[in-house]
Amino acid sequence: SSFMYYGWLIQVLLVVVIMIGKIMTSCSDIIMSSILPCLTVMSLFVSTRSVVVGVPHPLLACLVG
């Protein structure tokens, strides 16, 4: 009976690990999809040399969402 119990426990642990992995990957996807546009906007503003005028706007856009 202990062998059956351990098999069930291992299955539950595997399911939990898979769920955590899926949650982590989806969270990283969300983080990347929100950070990358901000980085491109920042680099565009820096590359156009309008640093004094341009920097606050992408920062606000990143903070607001």
Contact call for residues 41 and 55 (beta carbons, < 8 A): no
Pairwise CA distance, residues 20 & 59, whole Å:
31
Q: What is the pLDDT of residue 42?
A: 76
Residue identified by tokens 């820096």 is 46
Question: What sign for the dihedral angle of Cα 16, 22, 26, 32?
Answer: positive
Residue 41 three-state SS:
helix
Residue 17 pLDDT: 92
How do residues 19-63 score in pLDDT, each as one tens digit? 988 888 887 787 778 777 877 877 777 766 554 554 556 655 565
pLDDT tens per residue, range 3-24? 788 888 889 999 999 998 888 8
Residue 30: what pLDDT? Answer: 77
Question: What is the pTM for the complete model shown?
Answer: 0.42
Non-local CB neighbours of 41 within 8 Å, separated by 6+ positions: 58, 61, 62
